[in-house]
Amino acid sequence: MLKIDAVLDRPVLSLSQSDQLCFRDLAEGTLITGAPGSGKSSTSGKQLAYGLLRMPNSGGLVLTAKAEETANWIAYATACGREKDLIIFNAESGHCFDPIHYEWNRPGRGAGDLETVIDFFDTLVFRHRGQEQAKPRSVLGPRKPVVDAQCHQTARPRTGTDLHRQH
């Protein structure tokens, strides 16, 4: 039997008087199915968002795919009194995240290691191109020249900010 945890076993959403969805349930995996336009985001997703936003001392990362979802999450946060907690990363916000700089400077094993950074960059390039299955496991393989070509297109080394501004 699992030990009750104050955070994981906190109810997020009541499905009925006797059935609650807890944070542990969401962390272990939640699947919402339905046909396109059936209301997965606007009903179930919205209720889950409200439940998570109402949890005291909680935070998270929300990645949106639909154009209207960012506006929806801003509205959800506002409705829950959490609008001041939002940090929005988009072209208009001025915020950006440089994953290569982070990988180079992060603490822990492999941080600042050139091979780790190149392998990370290689992974980003291949995922962007939709070729993650073909990616070699070693940077010493056939993909290293691709990384070199990307880094030497200009007279100065490229940064994550440069890469961000290209798109």
pTM to 2 decimals?
0.60
% of the chain residues with pLDDT over 70: 74
pLDDT in tens, 94-117: 888 888 888 888 888 888 888 888
Q: What is the residue extent of each domain of the chain?
A: 11-85, 99-166
DSSP-assigned letters across all residues of the chain: -PPP-TTTTSEEEESSSS-EEEHHHHHH-------TTSSIIIIIIHHHHHHHHTSTT--------STTHHHHHHHHHHHTT-GGG----STTT-----HHHHHHH-SSTTTT-HHHHHHHHHHHHHHHTT-GGG--S-TTSTTHHHHHHHHTSSSS---HHHHHHH-
pLDDT value at position 128?
60
Is 163's pLDDT higher than 90?
Answer: no
pLDDT in tens, 3-13: 888 888 888 99
pLDDT in tens, 64-95: 888 789 999 999 999 999 999 999 888 888 88
% of the chain residues with pLDDT over 90: 28
